[in-house]
Copies of this chain bind each other. A is one copy, B any other.
Amino acid sequence: MAPASSVAVENLNPKRLQQQLQTQPGSLPFDQILFCNIGNPQSLGQQPVTFFREVLALCDHPCLLEKEETKSLFSADAISRAKQILATIPGRATGAYSHSQGIKGLRDAIAAGITSRDGFPANADDIFITDGASPGVHMMMQLLIRNEKDGILCPIPQYPLYSASIALHGGALVPYYLDEKTGWGLEISDLKKQLEDARSKGIDVRALVVINPGNPTGQVLAEDNQYDIVKFCKNEGLVLLADEVYQENIYVDNKKFNSFKKIARSMGYGEDDLPLVSFQSVSKGYYGECGKRGGYMEITGFSAPVREQIYKVASVNLCSNITGQILASLVMNPPKVGDESYASYKAEKDAILQSLARRAKALEDAFNKLEGISCNKAEGAMYLFPQIHLPQKAIEAAKAAEKAPDAFYALRLLESTGIVVVPGSGFGQVPGTWHIRCTILPQEDKIPAVITRFKAFHEAFMAEYRD
C-alpha cells in the first residue's frame, strides 16, 4: 500500500475514481469501487420486488388494464390491486394532485396495514404520505422548533438527517449517547441526565428522536427498553419522534420490531397521553425503493390546532408523488397467502432478507477478527458501525493531514481498496472513539472481495501506524 500524501487524500472522490477506472484501467490498485457508504440497495444490484413494480406500471398506464395481452404479462393480483387502487383515486387520475396528506384510499390501506402489524387500530386521518421519510422529519422540526432555545433529544451516533434538519430550522440538538458496550443500548438514565442538563441551560426540550432499528448502529430496541422510553416521554411531556424506517430489516431471531405506537397502546396509553410520530419509508425494508420517494408519517396524540398546522405545512408543497404514494400503500399491504403472487413475492422477500442477514454476519465476523476493531451485531437496519481503535501514530498522521482520524482512515481505505465507507464523525460518537459505517448492501458475491481487501488494507495500515 503506497502511503498517500495529504493532498492526494484531500482530492479522493469515489465518483472520480470510478471514472478513472473506466478511462484508465489498471491505473489504480483495485478494479472496482465497492460502495458501502449509502443505504441504496438497488444501486448495488438489488432487484425490485416484482409485484410492486407490476402494480406501479399498471397504475402509470391504466390503458393496459383494457388489453387482453396484459393478462399474460402481469399477475392476476397485480391487475386486481391496480384496479382497486385506481378505483380509490378520484377520476382514476394518477396524474392529479391529491389531498395534501395523500390519497384517502391509499391512507386507508396504510392504516389497515399498520392495524394488522400492531394489533391496535390506525386511522387514515393520522397518515401523512410523504416523498420518503425526510420531508416528514423536516415538517415536524419546522413545527417543533421556534427558536434556538427549542431542543430536540437525538441519539449519538445518529443518521445526520436529524442534526441537519435541526440546524436548518435553527434549534438545539440535545445529544444522548447510545452505549456501545451494551450493543448500542439506550440508557434512560443518560436520557434523563441530558434532558436535565439541557433544561438547566434554558433549553426547552420538545421532543425525543429514537431510531429503531438503529442507523448507523444497527441495534433493535428490546421491548422493555421501549416501555421505558414511552414512560419517559409521557412523564417529561416530550413528543416521541420514532424513526421506524427499518421496521422490516431484522436479522436476528431473538429480536423483533415493535412500533412505538403498539408499545404505547399496549401500556394503555391512548390519544391523550403521548404525542407520537412514526416515520416509515419505501426506501428501506426488503423493497429498498429509494428512488420512488415514498413514505408516510403517522401522527397520534396531537391536539386539533396542532394537527391543522401540520396539515398546513404539508400543503405548502401540494402533495407527495402519486407513484410513491401507491408504493407506500403496497409495502404496507403486500400479497397475502392465497394471492397468485404470494409465493414469488415471499420468495423474493425472503431471499433478500436472508441474504442481508448472511452479509451482516459475514462482515461483522470479519471486522471482529481484525486487530483493534470491535463490531456490534447488526440486529437490524442496513449497517455495521465498527469501532476502530486507531493507534496514536495514525491519529497524529491524521492531524498532520488535517483530517479527523476516522476520515483519514476511511480515505486511506478508499485509495487502497476502492471500498467506500462513512467515517463515524459524520454521525457523532463518544469523543476519542473512532468508527466507520459500512453498509451490508454490496451483493453477496462481492462480500468476500470486500472482506479480503478490507483485511489486507487494515493489516497494512496497522503495520504502518502501530504504536
Task: Give A residues with C-beta under 8 Å from B.
Answer: 38, 40-45, 48, 50, 53-54, 56-58, 60-61, 63-64, 67, 69-70, 72-73, 90-91, 93-98, 131-132, 134-135, 138, 142, 161, 164-165, 168, 283, 287-293, 316-324
Task: Evaluate contact between A291 and B60: CB separation under 8 angstroms.
Answer: no
Task: Evaluate contact between B42 and A95: CB separation under 8 angstroms.
Answer: yes
Task: Evaluate contact between A290 and B96: CB separation under 8 angstroms.
Answer: yes
A interface secondary structure, majority: helix
Given known contacts A132-B317, A290-B95, is B45 in contact with A53 (CB within 8 Å)? Answer: no
Task: Evaluate contact between A293 and B320: CB separation under 8 angstroms.
Answer: yes
Q: A94-B291, A131-B320, A321-B323 are in contact. List 8 more A-B contacts (CB 8 A).
A: A41-B96, A42-B91, A54-B61, A57-B61, A69-B69, A69-B73, A168-B316, A293-B322
Considering the complex, give the chain B residue whose CB is closest to the CB of A43.
B96
Q: Across the interface, which residues of B come within 8 angstroms of A287, CB to CB? A: 95
Give bound CA distance, A72 to B58, whole Å.
16
Task: Evaluate contact between A53 and B42: CB separation under 8 angstroms.
Answer: no
Q: Across the interface, which residues of B come within 8 angstroms of A322, CB to CB? A: 291-293
Task: Evaluate contact between B317 and A98: CB separation under 8 angstroms.
Answer: no
14 A-B pairs with CB atoms under 8 Å apart are A42-B93, A42-B96, A43-B90, A48-B94, A57-B57, A57-B61, A94-B291, A95-B292, A97-B283, A161-B316, A165-B316, A168-B316, A293-B320, A321-B321
Give bound CA distance, A430 to B55, whole Å.
50
Q: Across the interface, which residues of B come within 8 angstroms of A96, CB to CB? A: 40-43, 290-291
Task: Specify how many copies of this chain sit in the oligomer.
Answer: 2
Q: Across the interface, which residues of B come within 8 angstroms of A72, CB to CB? A: 69
Q: Across the interface, which residues of B come within 8 angstroms of A319, CB to CB? A: 291, 293
Task: Evaluate contact between B57 and A97: CB separation under 8 angstroms.
Answer: no
Task: Evaluate contact between B316 and A292: CB separation under 8 angstroms.
Answer: no
Residue among B40, B60, B73 making CB contact with A60, cutoff 8 Å: B60
- Determine how close the nearest CB of chain B comes to the CB of A172; give it in whole angstroms: 18
Q: Across the interface, which residues of B come within 8 angstroms of A164, CB to CB? A: 316
Q: Across the interface, which residues of B come within 8 angstroms of A67, CB to CB? A: 73
Given known contacts A60-B57, A131-B317, is B91 in contact with A43 (CB within 8 Å)? Answer: yes
Task: Evaluate contact between A43 and B131: CB separation under 8 angstroms.
Answer: no
- Determine how close the nearest CB of chain B comes to the CB of A340; give it in whole angstroms: 16
Task: Evaluate contact between B317 and A97: CB separation under 8 angstroms.
Answer: no
Q: Across the interface, which residues of B come within 8 angstroms of A43, CB to CB? A: 90-91, 93, 96-97
- Determine how close the nearest CB of chain B comes to the CB of A415; give it in whole angstroms: 22
Task: Evaluate contact between A318 and B73: CB separation under 8 angstroms.
Answer: no
With most chain B CB atoms within 10 A of its CB, the pick from A72, A95, A97, A98 is A95
- Determine how close the nearest CB of chain B comes to the CB of A176; give it in whole angstroms: 23
- Determine how close the nearest CB of chain B comes to the CB of A78; give it in whole angstroms: 9
Give bound CA distance, A352 to B69, whole Å.
29
Q: Across the interface, which residues of B come within 8 angstroms of A165, CB to CB? A: 316
Q: Across the interface, which residues of B come within 8 angstroms of A95, CB to CB? A: 42, 48, 287-292
- Determine how close the nearest CB of chain B comes to the CB of A178; give it in whole angstroms: 24
Given known contacts A93-B291, A132-B318, A291-B321, is B69 in contact with A60 (CB within 8 Å)? Answer: no
